[in-house]
Amino acid sequence: MSLNDIQRQLLREIADLETVPKGAYNIRANGESAGRSTTANIDIVTKTDKPGIDIIVKPGTKNESIHIPVIISQHGLKEMVYNDFIIGEDADVTIIAGCGIHNCGDQDSSHDGIHSFFVGKNARIRYVEKHYGDGDGIGGKIMNPTTVIELAEGAVMEMESTQIKGIDSTSRKTEAKLADGASLTVREKIMTHGEQLAETDFAIDMDGEDCACHLISRSVAKDKSRQIFRSNVKGNNRCTGHSECDAIIMDDALVSAIPEITASHVDASLIHEAAIGKIAGEQLMKLMTLGLTEKEAEEQIVNGFLK
């Protein structure tokens, strides 16, 4: 695998990778495959009808990981990728995705990805996704990830998505359908600055009996950035749904939270909590009485909030 320094830096940011990862991986650099490895239980196959890959995890595969980072260092590159994850029954795996864009040119670079998860009965997956952009060109760094999730009976999925720095525009969509006893937890962390825009949109259908979902979104909006959070959690059976979005607003930012919960079953129990506010003056004061400057106090509060 041959990557240049910029590409290596992106890989470090999004996947904490210094070298080739252990286990299965597929590294996509500037629209082309830059390395792939499969294992006895995990296969990665290039799609023939459209760009993207199928990741196939055999039933019963335990404690294996799959890295599928995407890095873009060529300015003006626009791509649309379809990745399907077929997770066999009773498997237990971790998937580390992520996308890093370095744009030092004057044309927009963008990565749009549709990740579809088909999680088999009683399988468990942890899906970690990190988005990062850098480069001092005026070209935009744009990412629009869509995640489509189908959880079979008793399947458990934990998803963590993080976008802390450098993405100018993002529209994130997450759709999920849950069967009997399935459980979905999503933790989202977003920080926007400058004139960035981040939109996030959840549509969760809790169709199965005793399924559960937790959506937890924490965000910080600085400078003139804008954030929009939308969620629609539907309880169509006996189930529990909980969503919360908690945002810190700073400077001249704009944050909007549009939560919706819909119950169509008498035993569906749904809760939404939403809060937007600036950093409390008391919090700054407390940390300043410990000897921190106001700026240091602000950083500690923001870092803690997004930890």
Q: Give the residues lining the site for other proteins (CB under 8 A).
A: 218, 246, 280, 282-283, 285-294, 300-301, 303-307
CA distance 30 to 71: 6
- Work out how close the CB of 97 gets to other proteins at its nearest, in angstroms, rounded to a whole number: 24
Based on CB atoms, which residue is closest to other proteins, 12 or 286?
Answer: 286
Beta carbon of residue 112, minimum distance to other proteins (angstroms, whole number): 31
Nearer CB in complex with other proteins: 184/287: 287
- Tell me how far, at minimum, the Cβ of 287 lies from other proteins, in Å: 7
Q: Considering beta carbons, is residue 114 or 306 the nearer one to other proteins? A: 306
Closest separation between CB of residue 290 and other proteins, Å?
5
Closest distance between other proteins and the C-beta of residue 279, in Å?
10
Considering the complex, state which of residue 50 and residue 307 has its C-beta at the smaller distance from other proteins.
Answer: 307
- Shortest CB 13 distance to other proteins, Å: 21
Q: Would you say 46 or 293 has its CB closer to other proteins?
A: 293
Provide the phi-psi class of 195: left if phi over 0, else alpha when psi is between -120 and 50, else beta.
Answer: alpha
Q: Which is nearer to other proteins, 269 or 293 (CB)?
A: 293
Output the smallest distance, CB 248 to other proteins, in A: 9
- CB burial string 65-93: b at 16+ within 10 A, e below: bbbbbbbbbebebebebbbbbbbbbbbbb
Closer of 173 and 218 to other proteins (Cβ): 218
